[in-house]
Amino acid sequence: MAIRRLFIANRGEIAVRIIRTCRALGIETVLGVSEADRGSLGAHLADRVLCIGPAQPALSYLRVETIVQAALGSGCDAIHPGYGFLSERADLARLCEAEGVIFVGPTAEQIEAVGDKLRARAAAEEAGVPVIPGGAAGTPDEARALAAAIGVPILVKAAGGGGGRGMKLVEDARDLAATMDMASAEAGAAFGDARVYLEHYVATGRHIEVQVLGDGAGGVIHLGERDCSVQRRYQKLIEETPAPHLPAVTRDALHAAAVRFAARLSYRGAGTVEFLYDVPRDAFYFLEMNARIQVEHPVTEAVTGIDLIAEQIAIAEGRGLRFAQEDVSCAGAAIECRINAEDPARDFAPSPGTVSTVRWPTGEGIRVDTHIIDGARIPPFYDSMIAKVIAHGADRAEALARLRAALANTRIEGIATNLAFQTAILADADFARGGVDTGFLARFLDQRIAA
């Protein structure tokens, strides 16, 4: 069924991004906005705007029934959830199905299967995808036995969530029980699911993920990998493709493992299979799957020339995969910097307010995804990311040079941002060499404090 009118259940840059593709496809857009986003760029660009509630997400963007009723009431055929908010909520997908609205994403069952980390680990093992030694431990005795088997250090992780919440490092086995209690309490408060599990801690690892598209009937292709190892407290700051200095055999094995995992689920739509790459051992392990469009999808689009939002819509319309694996090729390299309204000098405290003046960079190979224009207001209720600056080049050196120049030509006045901090990372010699691990940013911050 062709989608004629699409409800966008999101805000910020991803709302603008979805509107852009819909315009190109001739699809009308209805944007659901909170009271705080009535004057946003997305509200000006959408064909129609509906207020879905107060500024607080729990009273607007996170209300499943409100979103579906708004879509039905505005005559929309489909809902695109973007990322964050309700994008990985099975109850939204399920209610869409019950009400006859197309959900641009995977099925409710697939969202549940990958949202539960223990179920996802089991599915990975069934698909022959390596997982980090570990597993569930229901009692203190089971935890001690498992810890003895896999060895310390150990990472205690939440079974029902992500983003670093409920994740604790155990370096001494005597601290295991107390740490599991803390992680369980944090996970219960954050996700309503207090279950935790154990994994051996990989000290020198890189976060590498593979973009996949599935037709919902077992057909799956990959669109290459992304290296997202520059993270602060498990939040990504810089992403790039291809992953630098990755052995070709390992790269191919990563792609194949991601396809096997998604195919086992008969996955539908765009998704990302995340891995931890153990650098000293040249081995990789399944981490999780994100069942949605990813923030960092533009770097994949830059090297493949494929509009991932358009492919999400085509799959949701029942047109399946429009590319065979051999049709997908990657040209050059791309790097993305996330620009956040936060103050690195104040421990990255959020910096809401009004952007008095902004100048985004332009030029060959440069793309900016943003919802920020002169006079834009940044409410205190939402994620602090205000833009993504993406540079594409014939190789990594050219992409990096273009990104450095792009940040130098960016001006944002009226609020504090991490622009200068990102500029400093791009100038770092280790980052310039490529292939840094997930401990890079902590070392980088320590060096800045010591200097």
243: DSSP letter: P
Nearest Cα neighbor of 307 from 20, 13, 33 is 20
| Cα separations in angstroms, 223 against 203, 209, 272 | 28, 11, 10
Output the six-digit token pair for 23.
């315009």
- Report the catalytic residues: 292
Q: Which amino acid is at 173?
A: A
Pairwise CA distance, residues 290 & 195, whole Å: 19
Pairwise CA distance, residues 246 & 200, whole Å: 23
Instruction: Evaluate whether 339 touches 418 at the Cβ level (below 8 Å).
Output: yes
Output the six-digit token pair for 332.
């050059």
| Cα separations in angstroms, 315 against 19, 100, 162, 197, 303 | 17, 16, 27, 34, 21
| Cα separations in angstroms, 310 against 3, 62, 203, 246 | 11, 24, 38, 30
Q: Are strands 205-215 and 220-232 parallel, antiparallel or unpaired?
A: antiparallel
